[in-house]
């Protein structure tokens, strides 16, 4: 057991295996298709979920690992999540957003972001407060989702969202490296 009976000592190989982290994209919109591609590029197991079957098809999201037709809040409540799960809400509709974010902001996931303008965010924030979410829960919401890259296209927007997810995961600032005296590679686990 201690290796004393092995000539030359004992060498161990320890190999661990974890499934990839999950990215769950809610809202079967054009921006979602681009975000699915970015999520796959970053190594996520990507799921797209929307309650509208006409838009939520594998043909529209061929890169997704799963395409689910269900009410977003119901799906999120019933699916496996963990501390590495990323939730991206792109639905732009309070009837989907509010119940979904009520569930998401109370789960121990790593990132919850929602698309929309500052006005949409203010309305969403008010609605979430009205249904009882507390300040510490609301503070977890990244909205409008994404870093300010000036992007307009779905692909540029997906890049901005992916950049914010990476910055949040790795402790980045989202600021340009030019002129920064901060080390480029921070020491973080995850």
pLDDT in tens, 1-50: 666 677 777 777 888 888 999 999 999 999 999 999 999 999 999 999 99
**Residue (of 23, 175, 15) closest to 112 by Cα position:** 23
Q: Are strands 86-89 and 66-69 parallel, antiparallel or unpaired?
A: unpaired
Beta bridge partners of 25: 48, 88
Given this model, what pLDDT does residue 1 score?
A: 61
Residues 6+ apart with CB under 8 A from 54: none
In this structure, is residue 104 part of a structural domain? yes
Beta bridge partners of 68: 49
In this structure, is residue 183 part of a structural domain? no
pTM confidence score: 0.88
Given this model, what pLDDT does residue 120 score?
A: 94
Q: Flag whether pLDDT at 114 surpasses 70.
A: yes
In this structure, is residue 149 part of a structural domain? yes
Q: Which pLDDT band holds residue 123 (cuts at 50, 70, 90)?
A: very high
Report the distance separating Cα 142 and Cα 121, nearest Å: 10
**Residue (of 118, 64, 128) closest to 97 by Cα position:** 128
Model confidence over 134-181: pLDDT tens digits? 999 999 999 999 999 999 999 999 999 999 999 999 999 888 888 777
In this structure, is residue 14 part of a structural domain? no
CB 19 within 8 Å of CB 47: no
Q: Flag whether pLDDT at 128 surpasses 90.
A: yes
Beta bridge partners of 44: none
In this structure, is residue 11 part of a structural domain? no
In this structure, is residue 35 part of a structural domain? yes
Given this model, what pLDDT does residue 177 score?
A: 80
Question: What integer is the mean pLDDT of 95-111?
Answer: 97
Question: What integer is the mean pLDDT of 57-63?
Answer: 98
Q: Which pLDDT band holds residue 188 (cuts at 50, 70, 90)?
A: low
In this structure, is residue 40 part of a structural domain? yes
Full residue range of the structural domain in which residue 73 is found: 22-170
Helix ranges (H only) for 29-183 are: 30-41, 72-78, 94-104, 118-130, 135-138, 154-170
In this structure, is residue 2 part of a structural domain? no
Question: What CATH number should be reported for the domain holding residue 35?
Answer: 3.40.50.720
Given this model, what pLDDT does residue 187 score?
A: 66
If one compares 132 and 17, the residue with the highest pLDDT of the two is: 132
- Tell me how many domains the chain contains: 1
Given this model, what pLDDT does residue 176 score?
A: 85
User: Cβ of 155: how many Cβ atoms within 10 Å?
Assistant: 16
Question: What integer is the mean pLDDT of 73-97?
Answer: 96
């Amino acid at each position: 057991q201690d290796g004393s009976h092995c000539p030359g000592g004992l060498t161990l190989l320890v190999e661990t295996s974890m499934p990839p982290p999950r990215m769950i994209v809610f809202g079967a919109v054009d921006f979602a298709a681009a975000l699915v591609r970015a999520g796959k590029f970053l190594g996520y197991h990507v799921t797209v979920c929307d309650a509208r079957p006409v838009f939520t098809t594998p043909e529209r999201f061929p890169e997704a690992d799963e395409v689910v037709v269900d009410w977003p809040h119901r799906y999120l409540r019933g699916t496996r999540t963990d501390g590495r799960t990323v939730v991206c809400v792109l639905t732009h509709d309070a009837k989907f957003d509010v119940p979904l974010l009520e569930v998401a902001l109370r789960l121990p996931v790593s990132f919850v972001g929602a698309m929309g303008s500052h006005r949409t965010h203010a309305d969403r924030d008010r609605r979430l407060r009205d249904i009882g979410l507390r300040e510490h829960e609301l503070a977890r919401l990244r909205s409008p989702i994404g870093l300010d890259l000036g992007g307009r296209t779905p692909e540029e927007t997906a890049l901005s969202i992916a950049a914010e997810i990476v910055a949040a995961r790795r402790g980045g600032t989202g600021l340009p490296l030019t002129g920064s005296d901060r080390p480029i590679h921070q020491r973080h686990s995850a």
